[in-house]
Amino acid sequence: MSDIVLPPFDQNTLNESSAKFGALAPPVLLVDDSSTMREMLRTILELCGQAPNTIYEAGDGIDAIKCLKTTNLGLLLVDLHMPRMDGFQLIEWVSHQEEYRSLAIAIITAENCQKYAKRLIRYGIRSTIRKPFRPEQIRDVYRNLVTNYRLGVSR
Amino acid sequence: MNGDSQHFDVGNRNILIARRILWQHRLLIAAEAVGSSIPRTVYLNVGDGRCFIRTPNEEFEL
């Protein structure tokens, strides 16, 4: 049995150049208390074509809300365990704000998200990535989120 | 020697090292066909950049 892994993405989008793809992407907010993790995520998104000045960072939920209020964001990559205000509190807050309905959210966590599946679906979150991840996993989720965002697929 | 290669897990280590080197050079993997013990031949069409893998049982585009 061969172990062939093909990216779960349609050929048309794959053929699109990274630069072109990133140019159409909305601003992204990375929410993680680890600066190393944020740096790695930033590098991956930049490789996907996301312009560096459209990538914002927050160390916890409180900083993330501050950034949400001052910046017109489209994508949120959120860690679950953070000090002060964790990922769950953040996405719960976001889910109650009408103006953030179109925000695309992905969870990146070391925990098994299966046990939180019901809770995450309630918040309309379908994208989860488990740490440790491969850079390509982030790329695939990022591309899916951007495509959905561009198509106007709401959470 | 077959037992040795399983013992040292050479195949998996090669895959891991290849992924690490690609990441160190900031290259993301577009597609991959790795693992198991099937022979593979890679064809690269220099005209349009398309890449094919041929195995004894199938041929597919990456």
pLDDT category at A1 given cuts 50, 70, 90 is very low
Strands A75-78 and A28-31: parallel
Between CA B57 and CA A81 the distance in angstroms is 47
Closest partner residue to A7 (CB to CB) among B19, B31, B36 is: B31
Has residue A2 been placed in a domain? no
Q: How many domains does chain A have?
A: 1
The ranges assigned to domains in chain B are 1-30, 33-62
| pLDDT at position A94 over 70 | yes
The token pair at A128 is 């989860």
Has residue A78 been placed in a domain? yes
> Which domain, by its residues, includes A51?
26-147
The rounded mean pLDDT for chain A is 85
Cβ pair A48, A23 in contact under 8 A: no
Residue A84 Cα to chain centre, angstroms: 20
Beta-bridged to residue B32, according to DSSP, are A5
pTM > 0.90: yes or no: no
Q: Is the CB of B11 inside 8 Å of chain A's CB atoms?
A: no
Place of tokens 């779960």: A8
**Averaged over B21-41, what is the pLDDT?**
93
Has residue A52 been placed in a domain? yes
**Averaged over B29-55, what is the pLDDT?**
92
Q: Is the CB of A9 inside 8 Å of chain B's CB atoms?
A: no
| pLDDT at position A77 over 70 | yes
Tell me which chain A residues have a C-beta less than 8 angstroms from the C-beta of B32. 4-5
- The predicted complex's ipTM stands at 0.74
**Domain containing residue A111: CATH number:** 3.40.50.2300
Return the pLDDT at B8: 85
